[in-house]
Homo-oligomer: A and B are copies of this chain.
């Protein structure tokens, strides 16, 4: 990789890594479509371009970063397999990528993760080891797994290979849509937002970059305002992909390149999610609805602008929809 190392010792990917990643992963990912909606434009006063990573392989943008990590391994390293911890989509994506390369994949997942995600990891040939639904438990269980298997650790977001892979999404948006006024993506650990920063700061530096976060898991928002990482152990939100905290590598991008972080309530997220399903006819996760929820709350900031909106994933449990009482 054409990495560079900061004074802090961080391994920062460069835009060249995004270009290499894009070429490497092309056979394994979809170039996802961009959808527009006259209804959504009228509602927000902005011109919205929805980049539909819910249609991505494994149902989420994370197939990009996972594929870049897996297919970048030497033959020798690949034989020992890969492992990760993940609240869902990264685990699924790593299982997908490992399956395509034919190497072992172990995923540590919270026992509370949606059944559909667990079944899909196993469907791709991955092995699941369960942990408690907290960051601390997840990291402890994972350390044991790696010690046992010797697998290559592909972190869900705090990994330069993963961030470079996620950066290919913004690259496709620029190729297809030209220079937008703004791009907005949900933020959990910050992998998609970091990849977006990496790409846009190199090829379209005028684009404003917004991160959207649930109020009930607003650690990135508070970190951004405080100027240092604040991590919560077990936040609770319907946007289950966004519960994880920033780490040093994603903090590097978020603190340096993000225009602002905006938050939305649980009710606003569920309402935006249902609106997207109803009017755009696409199945996407609660996490992916947070950007629209924040745009609707901050109309003045986006009105009149051409805005790219990343629909990050579509792996929702269809037996348990958040607007229905179960």
Q: Could you list which residues of chain A lie within 8 angstroms of chain B, going by C-beta atoms?
A: 33, 35, 54-55, 59, 116, 274, 277-278, 280-284, 314, 318-319, 321, 323-324, 326
Ordered by A's residue number, 27 sampled pairs between the chains whose C-beta atoms are within 8 Å are A33-B33, A35-B55, A54-B281, A55-B280, A55-B281, A59-B281, A116-B278, A274-B318, A277-B283, A277-B318, A278-B283, A278-B318, A281-B282, A281-B283, A281-B284, A281-B314, A282-B282, A282-B283, A283-B283, A318-B321, A318-B323, A319-B323, A319-B324, A321-B321, A321-B324, A324-B324, A324-B326
Measured CA separation A189–B33 after assembly (Å): 33
Q: How far is the CB of A48 from chain B (nearest CB, A)?
A: 15
Q: How far is the CB of A11 from chain B (nearest CB, A)?
A: 34
Q: How far is the CB of A90 from chain B (nearest CB, A)?
A: 18
Q: How far is the CB of A39 from chain B (nearest CB, A)?
A: 10
Residues of chain B contacted by A278 (CB below 8 angstroms): 116, 283, 318
Measured CA separation A57–B33 after assembly (Å): 18
Residues of chain B contacted by A282 (CB below 8 angstroms): 281-283
Q: How far is the CB of A264 from chain B (nearest CB, A)?
A: 20
Q: How far is the CB of A146 from chain B (nearest CB, A)?
A: 31
Residues of chain B contacted by A116 (CB below 8 angstroms): 278
Closest 7 CB pairs of A and B: A281-B314, A281-B283, A54-B281, A277-B283, A55-B281, A278-B318, A277-B318
Measured CA separation A281–B56 after assembly (Å): 10
Q: How far is the CB of A180 from chain B (nearest CB, A)?
A: 21
Residues of chain B contacted by A35 (CB below 8 angstroms): 55
Measured CA separation A33–B278 after assembly (Å): 18
Residues of chain B contacted by A319 (CB below 8 angstroms): 323-324
Measured CA separation A212–B59 after assembly (Å): 29
Q: How far is the CB of A316 from chain B (nearest CB, A)?
A: 9
Residues of chain B contacted by A283 (CB below 8 angstroms): 277-278, 281-283
Interface centre among A318, A321, A326 (most CB of B within 10 A): A318
Residues of chain B contacted by A326 (CB below 8 angstroms): 324
Q: How far is the CB of A253 from chain B (nearest CB, A)?
A: 28
Q: How far is the CB of A36 from chain B (nearest CB, A)?
A: 10
